Structure 1
């Protein structure tokens, strides 16, 4: 899965090929061999778990899958970890090779965080897999001695790798948004002029797409007045306008340089100003005008109005009394 994920990120191959079957074959074998254990009564599973807790050497004789009949227990415990480690190394090699190619800009153009993210992902996963392999080997060598399960360097390294995997999205939150993918390149073209021309075409493709988002967001707001809905947030707007949420998030963050809430509030404030100019402030309260403009509370209306106009709605309305 890891190898296929990295390959799909780098080459935009989102569909499985026939050759990918061999990547999943070991996992399929493990699944089939452990499937009969699914029908073992829950009481028996709890009993086996309690015996393993009381005496770790029980893992050497417990037959959890059909593979235990033909493969040594140590090999079964190691094989999955070695498989993960192998795919991690394979994904890393694929990543390094791709970085050396001139076509790498087709994926990493304007999304350089992908390089850092993949480096952290593969790095922490490599640390975790290697430490786990040595821990399993050492635990069998020491016959699950309690001494081994005390504080030691292997456990520290393993925990560091796991924590790194868990907290890395906080350092690269952009990875959660994703980006519009660009057309696949022809790897046989190596001429610098062709590469430069292709790069300009890709940038044009992305610019055209982002320009279409800009036009659609403004026209949709003006025509359907979605800003009047109290629950108009990015997810709601994305659903109404039929543009993926992460594409909109990227557009507002990187192109418009504005939070969606500020974009929406501009429309609300302009709507409120139009109502005030029409003389509505003489007929209803400013709080009612804010409510008619989509604001959920009086304080929010006043705060956002001051932020955009530099004055309170009351001061603004005084001009039209």
Structure 2
């Protein structure tokens, strides 16, 4: 039965990745974080509860680099939820260095024949509990300490970044976003659970290999015993899988961290939540103003941006919007959407983005599902391909 919790967590992570990543790109990192967490739990289960030598050999050491992805993926999620720029920065690749280091460092063990690894894993887990295996640069024991310290350092880094960003927002706008409190509770819930799990793991390792100590008068051999260690760590990951459902705006919504300078009263919020009915007398200027305000958030760069989504967001019926595009703008919704995307791509190119990422990355950044569709739409509107446009801008010094 214990295996059901991580399986459910892996299922949840794929839901986040498949359905919600297009709504908010930071959800990609949340999905990766949940996926890594639950794979780590399954590794624990395979090592200590399956009692199957084959799975002990598979789970032993091989998945250790995953533990060094927990901190970075959680930090990326927090950073890119708060940041206006959702594009992954090349410098962020440095955060993945510890995981790569661990994967390479463990090659002396992971490249051994499976039967040899299985025999060693079974003996260590069930009898000796001696994790002092020698790899290339760091022992297995040192890596076990390191993974807990690594997660705790990233938790501190995430908290520092959160409060730094909070000061920046207050300095720029003088007010915090309306969803600041719920986002803070959500972030801190995740960070607390990770610190609790990592701290318990670190305490267990120190107690196992060093002299016992006291915490608030409680001996470490009792506080960090093997039974408490598995209960706290397993319980922490179990709670984490279900705590997401206590935050429905996080799970189901496109929650963003942006300041609404025009705070609505209760009556206005209720009124704005009701879709405007189709009226013959609805004014074109009213729709134009609504769309202009709506475009400030650049919703058109989302891959799944549709007329239905726009209708839902603006509380204006699809029929009214479709009539507006066809009669007032003399174009379809799709043409209008691609016009905005191509103009946005041109802005990125002129701001030097083409020097940092590929054309394919730019096409994804502005919402196109493929490079070819982006090139076709670009050439149709600008008369040249994106690569030619980039070269022309370079030659003119623009």
> How does the TM-score come out when normalised to structure 1?
0.50
Equivalence map 1:13-52=2 (5 Å): 13-35=85-107, 37-52=109-124
Structure 1 residue 4, shift from structure 2 partner: 2.0
Structure 1: runs of 5 or more not aligned: 186-194, 224-241, 243-321
CA distance in 2, matches of 1:69, 1:34: 7
CA distance in 2, matches of 1:14, 1:110: 18
8 Å contact from structure 1 (residues 106, 182) kept in 2? no
Per-residue CA deviation, residues 249-290 of structure 1 (Å, 9 max, x unaligned), is xxxxxxxxxxxxxxxxxxxxxxxxxxxxxxxxxxxxxxxxxx
Partner secondary structure for residue 183 of structure 2: helix
CA distance in 1, matches of 2:124, 2:139: 18
8 Å contact from structure 2 (residues 148, 201) kept in 1? yes
Q: How many residues align?
A: 204
Matched, 1:125 2:194: yes
8 Å contact from structure 1 (residues 125, 165) kept in 2? no
Residue matched to 2:396: none
Per-residue CA deviation, residues 202-246 of structure 1 (Å, 9 max, x unaligned), is x943899676336799537xx9xxxxxxxxxxxxxxxxxx9xxxx
**Closer, same or farther in 2 for the Cα pair 1:52/1:115, shift >3 Å?**
same
Which residue, out of 138, 157, 163, partners 1:71? 138
Matched, 1:87 2:176: no
Structure 1 residue 175, shift from structure 2 partner: 1.3
Residue matched to 1:99: 166
Residue matched to 1:56: 128
CA distance in 2, matches of 1:105, 1:175: 25
Structure 1 residue 57, shift from structure 2 partner: 3.7
**Closer, same or farther in 2 for the Cα pair 1:216/1:204, shift >3 Å?**
closer
Residue matched to 1:309: none
Structure 2: runs of 5 or more not aligned: 1-72, 213-220, 265-289, 300-308, 323-336, 338-398
Which residue, out of 203, 217, 221, partners 1:134? 203
8 Å contact from structure 1 (residues 89, 126) kept in 2? no
Equivalence map 1:85-234=2 (5 Å): 85-100=152-167, 101-102=169-170, 108-110=177-179, 112-141=181-210, 149-152=225-228, 156-179=231-254, 181=256, 196=261, 204-205=293-294, 212-213=311-312, 218-219=317-318
Residue matched to 1:313: none
CA distance in 1, matches of 2:186, 2:83: 16
Structure 1 residue 163, shift from structure 2 partner: 3.2
8 Å contact from structure 1 (residues 3, 87) kept in 2? yes
Per-residue CA deviation, residues 111-170 of structure 1 (Å, 9 max, x unaligned), is 753222112111111111111111111122279xx9874544x55544443333222112
**Closer, same or farther in 2 for the Cα pair 1:14/1:215, shift >3 Å?**
closer
CA distance in 2, matches of 1:47, 1:9: 45
8 Å contact from structure 2 (residues 105, 137) kept in 1? no
The Cα RMSD (Å) is 4.3
Structure 1 residue 71, shift from structure 2 partner: 2.7
CA distance in 2, matches of 1:92, 1:136: 26
CA distance in 2, matches of 1:161, 1:206: 41
Structure 1 residue 108, shift from structure 2 partner: 4.1
Structure 1 residue 2, shift from structure 2 partner: 2.0
**Closer, same or farther in 2 for the Cα pair 1:182/1:211, shift >3 Å?**
farther
Bigger-Rg structure (1/2): 1
Structure 1 residue 26, shift from structure 2 partner: 1.2
Partner secondary structure for residue 131 of structure 2: helix
Partner secondary structure for residue 59 of structure 1: coil
8 Å contact from structure 2 (residues 78, 158) kept in 1? yes
**Closer, same or farther in 2 for the Cα pair 1:139/1:175, shift >3 Å?**
same
Structure 1 residue 46, shift from structure 2 partner: 1.6
Structure 1 residue 9, shift from structure 2 partner: 0.8
8 Å contact from structure 1 (residues 9, 107) kept in 2? no
